[in-house]
A and B are shown apart, each in its own frame.
Chain A
Amino acid sequence: MFTYTSIAELVEAAEKSGKKISELVLADQAESMEQSQEELFDRMSTDLDVMIDAVKFGEQKDQKSTSGLTGGEGWKMNDYTGRTQGGLSGTIIGHAIARALSVAGCNASMGRIVATPTAGSCGILPGCLLTLMEEKGMDRKDVIMSIFTAGAFGMVIAQNACIAGAQGGCQAECGSASGMAAAALVELAGGTPQMAADACAIAIANQLGLVCDPVAGLVEIPCIKRNASGVVIAFSAADMALAGIHSCIPVDECIEAMRAVGSALPASLRETAGGGLAVTKTGKKLKEQVFGKEE
């Protein structure tokens, strides 16, 4: 049984057995949850369907958040990417950004999402994986398996650092989601377990210190767009790892650093809406717009 206390543990086991991390994790989880592998796979398959539906919900032109502060970002990005044959960064990235914006927008308009690992960062994993599935022709079964790898990396992060913005800032939510997604992307693309670990490390390192500063305390500004940047960081980290670029700092140490940085963040930058963008002139104005003037 895995302890999920280090990513090195997962990588070593996979290298020794010649299996994918996802295969080992599925077997391990089936044993510890006392369910069959088929049951767990089917449950993950249902989760993937929820992600697909969340994209559809959020990419509509008239999508509007409950507060009215945001909406329609996914549609705009899709429209632009189509119109310009991929804009500046290409169709894959353009559509991946659109999917991340759509799922995060779905969340903000009270649609159904899978928290991966949290509601605030729910667009990153679907943005990455659905794009590979729908635009690179990756097999649905492989995509579902890769979520087990993402989940296993997330379990280690949750145990050794944290995944809640209130505890560790946005690096703990979007940073973790990016790291998890980068590892899954590498596995899907046929990279080695060590490459998956490197990709996760690079993604986390690139979001270290990111603060959680939601305008009006709502999961919208800047959360929705941070899902888009989380996707781009995951793709770049996965591509670097697949190119053979190592993370100079091993992933488990990056996670440890994230924990330490999270603890060092003042409370005002940990989901309390007491700092960062939340207290800018416009941030305060938007808050008033939704909740009225403070008495």
Chain B
Amino acid sequence: MNIFDIIGPVMIGPSSSHTAGAVRLGRVANKLLQSKPKDIRIELSGSFAKTYKGHGTDKALLAGILGYHSYSEEIRSIFSIADKQGIHYTYIPTDIPNSHPNTARIQVTCEDGSQHTVQGASIGGGNIRVDYVDGMKVDFTGERNTILVPHYDRPGVIAAVTNIMWQKHKDINIGSFRLTRPVKGGIAMMTIEVDGMPPADVIDAIRSVQYVTNVILIRAI
């Protein structure tokens, strides 16, 4: 803890969990986009579903998806900003079973036709936990740069990926590593949170590892 954990954060009100955390959750989706968002669909569950209007959770999520920060004044007028850009957005209160009370599921369709989804929760004090990215189970907080590596579950893939990180760039330190594997031998996911910023050549090199299907870098939000 440091002094600015107490004097701070600077944020748009009214609630660290329902507003500031919601912006940060939206920002995770923003990090996945490679072209301009066209259609945004946001499902809200639990407390988010019941109180999103009073806390401005709807505006906060949308602002995050469009790349704004939890301290951006634009959050207040985000509907008209999105309308001007011709971005379509809908909110659907729903019940996502077995999820944290402040959970949102975001689906963004971009102008190039690509589609991305993020599901996560605002777990208090502006902190978040991301549960799914593009339909795959993950588990990270977005506080550090995070590398997601979907791959086929085969021996040696993890070693190949971490070797590249060590050989190419000695400064990248893995702070947390998690593997999720719904089915043996099927598609698995590495969630790697790192200290420092992994350079593009590392990401490209990981992408070329056999059995790795994609690499998604989510910069610290």
**A interface residues, Cβ below 8 angstroms from B:** 4, 25, 29, 32-33, 40, 43-44, 46-47, 50, 65-67, 106-120, 122, 125, 147-148, 150-152, 154-155, 158-159, 163-164, 166, 180, 216-220, 290-291
Q: In chain B between 2 and 37, which residues have their CB closer than 8 angstroms to a CB of chain A?
A: 2-16, 19-20
**B interface residues, Cβ below 8 angstroms from A:** 1-16, 19-20, 47, 50-51, 53-56, 59, 71, 73, 75-76, 124-125
In chain A, what residue has the closest Cβ to B76? A110
In chain B, what residue has the closest Cβ to A26? B3
Contacts of B76 in A (CB 8 A): 110-111
Instruction: Report which of A109, A152, A290 forms a contact with B13, defined as CB distance below 8 A.
Output: A109
Decide: B6 and A116 in contact? CB cutoff 8 A: yes
Given contacts A110-B75, A113-B13, A291-B54, contact A40 B3 (CB under 8 A): yes
Decide: A47 and B1 in contact? CB cutoff 8 A: no
Instruction: Report which of B1, B7, B14, B73 forms a contact with A218, defined as CB distance below 8 A.
Output: B14
Decide: A164 and B14 in contact? CB cutoff 8 A: no
In chain B, what residue has the closest Cβ to A107? B13
In chain A, what residue has the closest Cβ to B125? A164
In chain B, what residue has the closest Cβ to A217? B51
Contacts of A65 in B (CB 8 A): 14
Decide: B55 and A151 in contact? CB cutoff 8 A: no
10 A-B residue pairs with Cβ-Cβ distance under 8 Å, sorted by A, are A4-B1, A29-B2, A66-B53, A66-B56, A110-B14, A119-B14, A119-B19, A164-B124, A218-B14, A291-B53
Instruction: Report which of B8, B55, B73 forms a contact with A66, defined as CB distance below 8 A.
Output: B55
Decide: B7 and A114 in contact? CB cutoff 8 A: yes
Whole-angstrom CA separation of A147 from B54 in the bound complex: 31
Whole-angstrom CA separation of A109 from B54 in the bound complex: 10
Instruction: Report which of A47, A108, A219, A291 forms a contact with B7, defined as CB distance below 8 A.
Output: A47
Contacts of A108 in B (CB 8 A): 13-14
